[in-house]
Amino acid sequence: MSTFLDARALPADTVLEPDLAIIGGGPAGITLALSLAGAKLKVLLLESGGTSFDPRVQHLYAGEESGYVALDVGRLRTLGGGTNHWGGWCRPMDEIDFEAKPWLPYSGWPFTRKVLEPYYPRSQQLVEAGPWIYDQKGAAENAAKGSVLPLGQGGLYTSWFQFSKMRGDVLPTQFGKRYEADLKRAPNVTPLMQANITAIRLSPDARQVERLEGTTLDGNGGAGKRFTVKPRFVVLAAGGMENARLLLASNDVMKTGVGNQNDLVGRFFADNPVPRDVATLVSFAGPLAPFYGSTQTLDDGAIMRATFAPTAAFCRQNQVLGSLSTVEQPVDLDETGKAAVITTALALGVDASNAKAYSLGCGIELAPDPDRRLVLTGDKDALGLPRLKLNMRIADDDFTRYRRTLMELGRQLLASHTGMLRIEKKNRGDWLKEWGHHHLGTTRMHADPKQGVVDADGLVHGIANLYVAGSSVFPSYSASNPTLNLVALTLRLGDHLKKAMT
């Protein structure tokens, strides 16, 4: 078993020549390295941080934003990346998430969900979310704990999350810690810690990557030891913000930045807003089954929680995007609420004497927007790399669409005589307080170079040996949490590289 190398211990001006350099040791980078373990390729995994948090390294993420959270919040520059603080929520993207929707500009993936399906089982293993249950068997597997809310015919149904394995009060699977030993065991994989890549240098004809420039942080927080990587192939897997930053900042040959010949790098940034208390759901019959309000552990170890999702037919017919509404906690009704419940239940001929009310939270999919954008600023970090500015904006349509979904849930609850719904959020500002910290879309995937930074394989258009991995390639976003899906997509890239590189 090898140990991790530390770039600070390399001799000055070291030149490393792996077959493949992976920039970033988060879930995508680690997944790719693991998928290539044992292949006849020398793989160098470059991680900016170490195995534990270092605020000086984390500060390299700092930037400017408008209408969002600070850019060094919500991501972690440590081996394992965002999985060091994720909540473990897993749900595969739906078929409709991949569809180009005629009513939604820029939507659609260059392939269907079927292309990813072979990779979900392994992805499920890597995130340690137990056996594959989700919507196929969620209701049946949880039947002993209660019944799903009968919603009858309509636009929403009870869907299911699964969760990455918990270890007592320890957070779910942290890729850096969980797969440290596996990375060390892989004879062809060399993880290099404290290795910051500050530039991607192209050949003069801008057709391929010639080398990567790397730097360590010295003891004073400035640029330390410099090194060079000359790989045959490169995969950029540094996260939804840093992928764009490094491409934009590497602008010596391509003046607008690597892969940015069509001014797309950094555009289409997205996240999932996750506002709480979006609605109050009343169950006429009394308490909901426990799997709605909290995670439930099944005998086979699977951890599950129910959520309300719109059907594909409802999304198409009503031009709404994905959303996942979860039951949060019991709440008391005010006088108007009590009057609404009594009057409506009596009108329906339903007994609501044991009615119970709950608040709902949600995760919402945003529409792709080219002007929701990351750009470089004149300010530079300790290693000389320009910092980012995020121009965040959300269209009113994004909230209008989700309100349509809530209206349908309210109608459906009444039509099935099971309950009713109150929509709580009134003002635009109410919706924009909490985020999923899912950084999506900044190097979007599209077969047409004028519409995407990378092609369907993740290869940067026009560059023969540079790929991008992770959720930055998602061209449209889904309401499902990205980790399970980006891991599956990265496993597919691993298969592609095995063929492309040998």
Partner 1 sequence: MRRRDVAAAVVAAGAAATAGLYRFTDLFVKHYAPTPYDDLLARLTDREEAAKLGAKVPGPFDLTTQTARLRAGFKGRDLATAVNADLAAGHMVEVAGWVLPETVVLLSALAAKV
Q: Which is nearer to partner 1, 93 or 320 (CB)?
A: 320
351: how many CB neighbours lie within 10 A of its CB? 12
CB of 361 to partner 1, least distance (A): 16
The DSSP output letter for 60 is G
CB of 353 to partner 1, least distance (A): 13
Q: Which residue has the tokens 């080398």?
A: 211
Q: Which is nearer to partner 1, 229 or 409 (CB)?
A: 409
CB of 494 to partner 1, least distance (A): 47
- Beta-strand ranges (E) seen in 286-336 are 296-297, 303-310, 323-331
CB of 335 to partner 1, least distance (A): 6
Binding interface with partner 1 (CB under 8 A): 279-280, 335-340, 342-344, 346-349, 406-407, 409-411, 414-415, 420-424, 426
CB of 331 to partner 1, least distance (A): 13
Q: Which is nearer to partner 1, 280 or 296 (CB)?
A: 280
Report the C-alpha gap between 327 and 323 in whole angstroms. 13
Strand 323-331 relative to strand 356-364, pairing: antiparallel
Report the C-alpha gap between 241 and 372 in whole angstroms. 12
Q: Which is nearer to partner 1, 346 or 447 (CB)?
A: 346
Residue type, 43: V
Report the C-alpha gap between 453 and 264 in whole angstroms. 6
CB of 338 to partner 1, least distance (A): 7
Report the C-alpha gap between 352 and 96 in whole angstroms. 37
CB of 197 to partner 1, least distance (A): 50
Q: Which is nearer to partner 1, 336 or 502 (CB)?
A: 336
At 353, phi and psi to the nearest 5? -65, -20
Q: Which is nearer to partner 1, 17 or 334 (CB)?
A: 334
**Length of the chain as a residue count:** 502
Q: Which is nearer to partner 1, 409 or 454 (CB)?
A: 409
481: how many CB neighbours lie within 10 A of its CB? 24
Report the C-alpha gap between 182 and 2 in whole angstroms. 10
CB of 348 to partner 1, least distance (A): 6
246 contact partners, CB below 8 Å, separation of at least 6: 23, 197, 199, 200, 236, 238, 258, 385
Report the C-alpha gap between 234 and 372 in whole angstroms. 27
CB of 322 to partner 1, least distance (A): 20
Q: Which is nearer to partner 1, 205 or 396 (CB)?
A: 396
Q: Which is nearer to partner 1, 13 or 335 (CB)?
A: 335
Q: Which helix (H) or strand (E) holds 141?
A: helix 134-141
CB of 73 to partner 1, least distance (A): 31
CB of 279 to partner 1, least distance (A): 8
CB of 352 to partner 1, least distance (A): 11
Q: Which is nearer to partner 1, 38 or 330 (CB)?
A: 330
At 85, phi and psi to the nearest 5? -145, 20
185: how many CB neighbours lie within 10 A of its CB? 13
Q: Give whole-number Cα distances, 300 to 88, 142, 145, 159, in Å.
A: 17, 11, 14, 19
Q: Give whole-number Cα distances, 56 to 60, 120, 197, 284, in Å.
A: 7, 36, 16, 54
CB of 16 to partner 1, least distance (A): 60
Rounded-to-10 torsion of CA 280, 163, 271, 456: -140
- Beta-strand ranges (E) seen in 67-117 are 89-90
Q: Which is nearer to partner 1, 422 or 444 (CB)?
A: 422
Report the C-alpha gap between 358 and 325 in whole angstroms. 12
Report the C-alpha gap between 370 and 352 in whole angstroms. 48
Which SS3 state, helix, strand or coil, does residue 231 take? Answer: coil
Report the C-alpha gap between 65 and 391 in whole angstroms. 6
Q: Which is nearer to partner 1, 100 or 415 (CB)?
A: 415
Q: Which is nearer to partner 1, 70 or 346 (CB)?
A: 346
